[in-house]
């Protein structure tokens, strides 16, 4: 059974007015004190966000419990610092992002200017174990066309600087401003992948391998494929669904590689169109079907993903849970729809943030 780990980035906000607060250092210190040094939290590029990472899990039930545990712990530590946490991929309210104090973050601010300043975005990264770099790159080559569907299922960032962006995932639009972000070509081998990564680093535009921001990459820290395309999800059940589908995608791709099936040669430009469409309308409009790259109703494309990974889901024992979770998302919508519905029935974006804080706290 392949193991799965999740990294979630959370927004630190004022519990009353919903505005982002630059308190990550204080929250991290409180979390570490409570955990007696065994905290799962880290700071991020901006002081208004906090990240946690789960342990590698082979049970989705265990993963779900850990995600809820760390969200609750983040909420407690934030409250002790006079703030709250919200699983929002962008701030609905206007914000002036504050770059963190570390040298790495300061280097990013100097190098990338406004692009770095505007990156107050919260994503969800899923790590799935692989046996080798060869298997990992074979997986990367074969999951490319399916990643926009995961983005659509996670879409949770409709608002930007106080207004509706008219995208379900505006985070992905902002994130795409990094020079190394987005979809990539078919590599064909681990050697070719590493040569490409080194060539990018050698340009000196990037600081190091940690700035390889592909939609999916080989982790530079763990023996995993890291799928980085998703927004942080408002509902932790959606995070578990993402992890479930990501593991099934990796397993399906690895089996295809071992069977000698070649990856689909979808051009990078077409993959960018698929990602844009997923960001624009999430699961409430149309998506590009990964097998044809033609627009179809989102629900049909989501079911195509389920069909594509069905065998892997059955073998891992996740098929019933994944089917129910997919039906739930299609019925109630993603976090983007939830945020817009909250706005339509509330006194404004501040109330939306307060409700999202409550849902994050659980």
Cβ atoms within 10 A of the Cβ of 16, count? 10
Sequence ranges of the domains in the chain: 4-361
Q: Say if residues 134 and 241 touch (Cβ distance below 8 Å).
A: no
Domain 4-361 has CATH 3.40.50.150: no
3-state percent breakdown (helix, strand, coil) of the chain, nearest 5: 50, 15, 35
Cβ atoms within 10 A of the Cβ of 15, count? 17
- Candidates 296, 291, 266, 265; CA nearest to 278 is 296
Q: What's the pTM?
A: 0.96
Cβ atoms within 10 A of the Cβ of 38, count? 8
- What pLDDT, on a 0 to 100 scale, did the predictor assign at position 124? 98
Which tokens hold the place of 26?
Answer: 């204080």
Cα distance between residue 287 and residue 331, in whole Å? 17
| pLDDT per residue of the chain (362 residues) written in tens, 0 to 9 | 899 999 999 999 999 999 999 999 999 999 888 876 667 898 889 999 999 999 999 999 999 999 999 999 999 999 999 999 999 999 999 998 899 888 999 999 999 999 999 999 999 999 999 999 999 999 999 999 999 999 999 999 999 999 999 999 999 999 999 999 999 999 999 999 999 999 999 999 999 999 999 999 999 999 999 999 999 999 999 999 999 999 999 999 999 999 999 999 999 999 999 999 999 999 999 999 999 999 999 999 999 999 999 999 999 999 999 999 999 999 999 999 999 999 998 779 999 999 999 999 87
CA distances (Å), origin 361, targets 67, 123, 142, 243, 252: 11, 18, 37, 20, 34
- What pLDDT, on a 0 to 100 scale, did the predictor assign at position 37? 61
DSSP letter string, 259-321: TTPPPP---HHHHHHHHHHHHHHTTSSEEE-TTT--EEEHHHHHHHHHHHTHHHHHHHT-HHH
């Amino acid at each position: 059974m392949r193991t799965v780990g999740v990294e979630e980035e959370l927004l630190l906000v004022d519990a009353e007015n919903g505005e982002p607060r630059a308190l990550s250092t204080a929250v991290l210190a409180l979390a570490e004190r409570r955990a007696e040094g065994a905290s799962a939290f880290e700071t991020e590029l901006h002081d208004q966000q906090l990240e946690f990472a789960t342990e590698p899990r082979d049970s989705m039930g265990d993963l779900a419990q850990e995600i809820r545990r760390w969200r609750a712990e983040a909420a407690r530590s934030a409250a002790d610092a006079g703030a709250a946490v919200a699983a929002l991929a962008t701030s609905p309210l206007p914000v002036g992002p504050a770059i963190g104090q570390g040298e790495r973050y300061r280097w990013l601010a100097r190098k990338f200017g406004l692009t770095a300043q505007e990156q107050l975005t919260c994503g969800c990264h899923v790590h799935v174990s692989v046996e080798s770099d060869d298997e990992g790159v074979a997986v990367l080559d074969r999951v490319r066309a399916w990643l926009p569907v995961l983005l659509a299922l996670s879409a949770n960032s409709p608002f930007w600087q106080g207004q509706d962006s008219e995208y379900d995932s505006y985070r992905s639009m902002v994130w795409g401003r990094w020079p190394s972000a987005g979809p990539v070509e078919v590599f064909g081998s681990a050697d070719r992948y590493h040569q490409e990564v080194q060539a990018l680093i050698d340009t000196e535009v990037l600081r190091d391998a940690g700035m390889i921001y592909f939609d999916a990459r080989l982790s530079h820290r763990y023996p995993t494929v890291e799928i980085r395309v998703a927004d942080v999800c408002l509902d932790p059940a959606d995070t578990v669904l993402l992890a479930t589908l990501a593991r099934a995608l990796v397993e399906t791709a690895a089996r295809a590689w071992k069977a000698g099936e070649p990856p689909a040669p979808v051009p990078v430009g077409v993959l960018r169109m698929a990602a844009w469409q997923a960001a624009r309308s999430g699961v409430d409009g149309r998506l590009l079907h990964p097998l044809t790259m033609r627009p179809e109703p989102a629900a049909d494309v989501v079911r195509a993903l389920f069909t594509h990974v069905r065998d892997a889901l059955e073998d891992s024992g996740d098929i019933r849970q994944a089917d129910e979770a997919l039906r739930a998302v299609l019925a109630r919508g993603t976090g983007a729809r939830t945020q817009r519905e909250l706005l339509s029935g509330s006194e404004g974006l501040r109330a939306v943030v307060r409700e999202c804080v409550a849902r994050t706290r659980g």
